[in-house]
Amino acid sequence: MPIATAFDVDAIRRRFPSLSRALAGRAIVYLDGPGGTQVPDACLDGIRDYLTTHNTNTHGAFPTSRESDALIAEAHAAAADFLGGAADEVAFGANATTITFAVSRAIGRTLQPGDEIVVTRLDHDCNVAPWLALAQDRGATIRWVDVRLDDCTLDLDGLERAIGPRTRLVAVGLASNAVGTINPVRRIADAAHAVGARIWVDAVHAAPHIPIDVAALDADYLVCSPYKFFGPHMGLFWGRRELLEALPVYKVRPADETLPSRLETGTQAHEAQAGLLGTFRYLEWVGVTQGGATGEPGSADGGRAARLRAAMTAIRAYERALTPRLVDGLAAIPGLAIRGITDPARVDERCPTVAFTLDGHHPREVSQALGDLGICTWDGDYYAYELIRALGLAESGGMVRVGLAHYNTAAEIDRLVEAVAAIAHRRHSHTAGASLEER
Ligand SMILES: Cc1ncc(COP(=O)(O)O)c(C=O)c1O
């Protein structure tokens, strides 16, 4: 396994053109990754190449259409390698939320009144609201799982109690987009399967940080968003083949009944799939150069899955090593309170996403002041709607959220910590009256 110190972050950064953007002579610090990451050159090249050379619709009897078909098939195969599934189990869509609403509607056609769905108060509303709506429409019952507020982890005993003989689906996140907690999804999947229920995994926040393997998780459905892991704005879905084949999906009649076509309504963003292929080629390069994998990025040698896994393992090791610097640096600032896991011994239980409040300063004020310095962070609830309310922070503007990606450096963390410390020293506060619309 690669060691964190071997990670060549300068070489990584050279692959991301946007990282050279400056504000008032200083490079912008992108700590807004949980809202959407920057993209590497290969992603940009893929989009440009598609639109300049191959742009058309699918299944036509002419070269650009055949090329588009091949590219789309390749994008599905690469995404399957990224997630550990099969190419026909992968479907693209507009974003994770739209996919979750669409597939949940189809699942709803199989539910009976009195069936139960388990949801958590740690999840992004993308993995809550669609199930609430479905329960209302189908007469199903929602069982809530609470969060232990001292460290923002799921109440696992409560979760196991919430799962029972009427449970049909357990909806859970792989990692929290607010406080970074990584949930023990395999354990939750085992509990769901023990009663014959299915598990729906929201891996949107986890995907840029940790290797994902749907088989190891024993997931039934999993959704993530390429724009959160260095790709274009689009959504990515995986489901177990036998479930997807049986799913009573909403589709137009002439559309192909085979997988994945039966899941992909209308025309997809082909250029985004081309960009995503570029992102995967970039990640393969990370796997080779930083993770010790072998082979040529983008080659058809069958080693892509191993290169992608090596990339995410190297990224995880690098981010894991940086996380205590961020957590400890922020935690040492007077009046600053981090919600979530702060113990360095528990770094394996979290992603490098840290949310905090600062006494006497509205989160919008802090984020605005950082933004003025060219340091991008989020404030609000980022749609972690239940969690922010459970923490009692909805009325006070939520929290400031800082998210590391593998292109961030120790020097950037130090710059952030210094800037937050300077803000903390300002005595007065003003309430910015910001809404909680921001993710
Ligand atoms: C954990 C999590 N789930 C779901 C979503 C929604 O993703 P999308 O914008 O692709 O619908 C987000 C976006 O912030 C997220 O962080």
What span, in angstroms and rounded, lies between the C-alpha atoms of 22 and 275? 25
Averaged confidence pLDDT in the chain: 95
What span, in angstroms and rounded, lies between the C-alpha atoms of 98 and 94? 6
The mean pLDDT value for 112-136 works out to: 98
Torsion of CA 314, 320, 321, 324, to 10 degrees: 170
Q: Which of 277, 302, 332 is the last residue of a domain?
A: 277
**Do 116 and 306 contact (CB within 8 A), yes or no?**
no
In percent, the amount of the chain with pLDDT more than 90 equals: 95
pLDDT computed for residue 394 by the predictor: 97
Question: Which structural domain range is residue 175 located in?
Answer: 46-277
pLDDT computed for residue 437 by the predictor: 43
| SS3 state of residue 230 | coil
Sign of the CA dihedral with 434 first, then 384, 117, and 131 last: positive
Q: Tell me how far the alpha carbon of residue 122 lies from the centroid of ligand 1, in angstroms.
A: 13
pLDDT computed for residue 4 by the predictor: 41
**Do 431 and 362 contact (CB within 8 A), yes or no?**
yes
If asked whether residues 94 and 21 sit together in one domain, one would say: no
pLDDT tens string 205-242: 999 999 999 999 999 999 999 999 999 999 999 999 99
In a domain, 118, yes or no: yes
**Do 114 and 141 contact (CB within 8 A), yes or no?**
yes
If asked whether residues 66 and 125 sit together in one domain, one would say: yes
Q: Looking at this protein, which amino acid is placed at residue 379? A: D
In a domain, 296, yes or no: no
pLDDT computed for residue 383 by the predictor: 98
pLDDT tens string 125-160: 999 999 999 999 999 999 999 999 999 999 999 999
- The response to whether residue 100 sits with its C-beta less than 6 Å from ligand 1 reads no
Residue 434 scores a pLDDT above 70: no
Q: Looking at this protein, which amino acid is placed at residue 34? A: P
Alpha carbon 64 to its chain centroid, in Å, reads 32
Q: Tell me how far the alpha carbon of residue 233 lies from the centroid of ligand 1, in angstroms.
A: 11
- Split into its structural domains, the chain has a count of 2
pLDDT grade for 431, boundaries at 50, 70 and 90: very low
In a domain, 233, yes or no: yes
If asked whether residues 135 and 96 sit together in one domain, one would say: yes
**DSSP-assigned letters across all residues of 391-419:** TT-GGGTBEEEEE--TT--HHHHHHHHHH
Q: Which of 232, 258, 277 is the last residue of a domain?
A: 277
Choosing from 131, 177, 353, 382 the residue with most ligand 1 atoms within 8 A of its CB, the one to mutate for a pocket test is: 177
Choosing from 125, 126, 221 the residue with most ligand 1 atoms within 8 A of its CB, the one to mutate for a pocket test is: 126
Residue 438 scores a pLDDT above 80: no
If asked whether residues 126 and 26 sit together in one domain, one would say: no
- The response to whether residue 126 sits with its C-beta less than 6 Å from ligand 1 reads yes
The CATH number of the domain holding residue 387 is 3.90.1150.10
If asked whether residues 256 and 322 sit together in one domain, one would say: no
Task: Say which DSSP state 120 is in.
Answer: E
The mean pLDDT value for 267-282 works out to: 98
Q: Tell me how far the alpha carbon of residue 34 lies from the centroid of ligand 1, in angstroms.
A: 9
If asked whether residues 211 and 263 sit together in one domain, one would say: yes
Q: Which atom of ligand 1 is nearest to the CA of 202?
A: 3
pLDDT computed for residue 76 by the predictor: 98
Q: Which of 235, 256, 277 is the last residue of a domain?
A: 277
In a domain, 390, yes or no: yes
With CA atoms as reference, report the closest residue to 223 among 406, 370, 98, 346: 98
The mean pLDDT value for 358-371 works out to: 98
- The response to whether residue 401 sits with its C-beta less than 6 Å from ligand 1 reads no
pLDDT tens string 155-204: 999 999 999 999 999 999 999 999 999 999 999 999 999 999 999 999 99
In a domain, 99, yes or no: yes
pLDDT grade for 416, boundaries at 50, 70 and 90: very high
If asked whether residues 145 and 130 sit together in one domain, one would say: yes
pLDDT computed for residue 6 by the predictor: 84
In a domain, 436, yes or no: no
Burial of 45 (0-12, 13-18, 19+ CB in 10 A): middle
Q: Tell me how far the alpha carbon of residue 301 lies from the centroid of ligand 1, in angstroms.
A: 33
What span, in angstroms and rounded, lies between the C-alpha atoms of 154 and 276? 32
Q: Tell me how far the alpha carbon of residue 385 lies from the centroid of ligand 1, in angstroms.
A: 12
What span, in angstroms and rounded, lies between the C-alpha atoms of 343 and 345? 5
The mean pLDDT value for 65-70 works out to: 98
Phi, psi of 75, deg, nearest 5: -65, -40
What span, in angstroms and rounded, lies between the C-alpha atoms of 167 and 160? 11
Q: Tell me how far the alpha carbon of residue 28 lies from the centroid of ligand 1, in angstroms.
A: 24
The CATH number of the domain holding residue 153 is 3.40.640.10
If asked whether residues 245 and 394 sit together in one domain, one would say: no
In a domain, 250, yes or no: yes
pLDDT computed for residue 2 by the predictor: 41
If asked whether residues 30 and 66 sit together in one domain, one would say: no
Across 178-213, b (16+ Cβ under 10 Å) vs e yields: bbbbbbbbeebbebbeeeebbbbbbbbbbbbbbbbb
- The response to whether residue 439 sits with its C-beta less than 6 Å from ligand 1 reads yes
If asked whether residues 217 and 68 sit together in one domain, one would say: yes
In a domain, 300, yes or no: no
If asked whether residues 60 and 171 sit together in one domain, one would say: yes
pLDDT computed for residue 1 by the predictor: 41
424 or 6: which carries more pLDDT confidence? 424
**pTM for this one?**
0.96
If asked whether residues 23 and 127 sit together in one domain, one would say: no
Phi, psi of 323, deg, nearest 5: -60, -45
The mean pLDDT value for 336-345 works out to: 98
- The response to whether residue 174 sits with its C-beta less than 6 Å from ligand 1 reads no
pLDDT computed for residue 427 by the predictor: 59
- The response to whether residue 177 sits with its C-beta less than 6 Å from ligand 1 reads yes
Q: Tell me how far the alpha carbon of residue 108 lies from the centroid of ligand 1, in angstroms.
A: 21
Q: Which atom of ligand 1 is nearest to the CA of 383?
A: 14
Q: Tell me how far the alpha carbon of residue 439 lies from the centroid of ligand 1, in angstroms.
A: 8
- The response to whether residue 202 sits with its C-beta less than 6 Å from ligand 1 reads yes
pLDDT grade for 426, boundaries at 50, 70 and 90: confident
Choosing from 92, 97, 229 the residue with most ligand 1 atoms within 8 A of its CB, the one to mutate for a pocket test is: 97
Residue 3 scores a pLDDT above 90: no
